[in-house]
Structure 1
Amino acid sequence: MNELFPIYVKLDEIQLLLVGAGPVGLEKLQAIIANSPKANVHVVASRVDADFLEFAEGRSNIRISNRDFEDTDLNNIDLVILATNNESLNQHIRNLTKEQHILLNVADKPSLCDFYLGSVVRKGNLKIGISTNGKSPTIAKRLREFLDELLPEEIDETLALMGELRDSVKGDFKEKVRVLNEHTKEVLGRR
């Protein structure tokens, strides 16, 4: 049973630490920036790949420290993502984050994670997160591809119109929900 609670985090309002700047670190950073272009990311890595540097170049919200991790790197950090293949370092950081109540994700190590990075479908303002509870990132990726093809490009226009309608509907919360539900039935072709 998947007991994960899905949330969407405003990464531009918190501090994120990414440890590791190899291919996996680049994959994580690309996913972060694709979903939250203004995310505040501090990257710590003893080795930084050229592709990683190229991706981060010109992005003032990404700060790279080309050195080994230090315990003080967790100061004022809200969220940590580890993309290292150093098991002892990962476990050390796991222990520190637990003590400091900082949420942690460790690439390819579900047992060390407080949260997972799901596969994401994006169409304008619509964002759908897909989780397999860490069991099969491949299935999540295939579902993302399927939903991406299924959802029309015009969905963002529909969302904008629904936002305007929501703002114009009068009445209490219950009445607004009723009106919006009726309208979405028509929009989505449901009865």
Structure 2
Amino acid sequence: MTITNSSCFEHIWVSTDDKKIAIEAEKYGARVHKRPPHYARDESSSIEAVMEFLEVHRTIHNFSLFQCTSVFLKENYIHEAVEKFQTHDCVFAVKRIHYLRWRMEDDKIVPVGFNAEARPRRQDWSGDLVEAGMFYFSKRKLAKKGIFQNEKCAVVEIAAEDGLEIDSYRDLTIARSIIKDEL
């Protein structure tokens, strides 16, 4: 409903291979794209599914992909993305994290993006922006190359608490707890 309530889109499509999902989508006014089984596997990527969709729907030049696993999507994020997409090739959701990152190099641990001898306090540091996976606004010309983003992108910074992705049963339990607590 959040996407519909934003009033930003001429058409809302749901790409699925599941009959129950298709029925539910149509009940709420979405158009259904029957996704072929090859693009509906657990290991299928989002860009592959979008490329297949655009191959079938050749008149679509700009698109927005919303991940159904992002349950804390807000209308204001959509409006901000739509506005930024007017002047950019792509827009995607990011969240800010304040973790000091490390990586292994030749059996040694080294800091990533900071000096261990001048270690910042996390609360004083601006942090890193990480892709949230909530949505991607992009153009056909990028998808044809197998990408959503290029150097002409803008981002919408979402609140960290809205960035929960439901990728496991544990994530689902956490999301349900948050929603229950908000009611």
TM-score by structure 2 length? Answer: 0.29
Please say which structure displays the higher CA radius of gyration.
1
TM-score by structure 1 length? Answer: 0.28
Higher fraction of helix: 1
Higher fraction of strand: 2
Q: Which has the higher contact order (CA 8 A, sep 6+)?
A: 2
